[in-house]
Amino acid sequence: MLRVVIDTNIWIRILLKGRVTLPILAAFNEDKFQLVYESTPYGRTPSCLESPPFKRAD
């Protein structure tokens, strides 16, 4: 089985229902690849959410 690492930015696009990422989401839902990820899930997500265009307004 194909093993895949998906960058945090791509996961954010998937969560925002980006049209470009629909094939990735479909393949994931159809078990066409095995997801490989860090032992600390979402380790980088908070820092990605703080950078543009997701930076919070104070």
As a whole number, mean pLDDT of residues 34-56 equals 65
Q: Classify residue 19 by its DSSP letter.
A: G
Task: Answer yes or no: is pLDDT of 53 > 60.
Answer: yes
Task: Answer yes or no: is pLDDT of 56 > 60.
Answer: no
pTM of whole model > 0.75? no
The encoded tokens of residue 5 equal 């690492």
Q: Over the stretch 10-32, which tens digit does the pLDDT of each residue have?
A: 888 888 888 888 899 899 999 99
Query: Which CA distances in Å does 16 have to 2, 3, 21, 25, 39?
Result: 25, 24, 10, 12, 24
Q: What is the pLDDT of residue 18?
A: 80
As a whole number, mean pLDDT of residues 23-52 equals 76
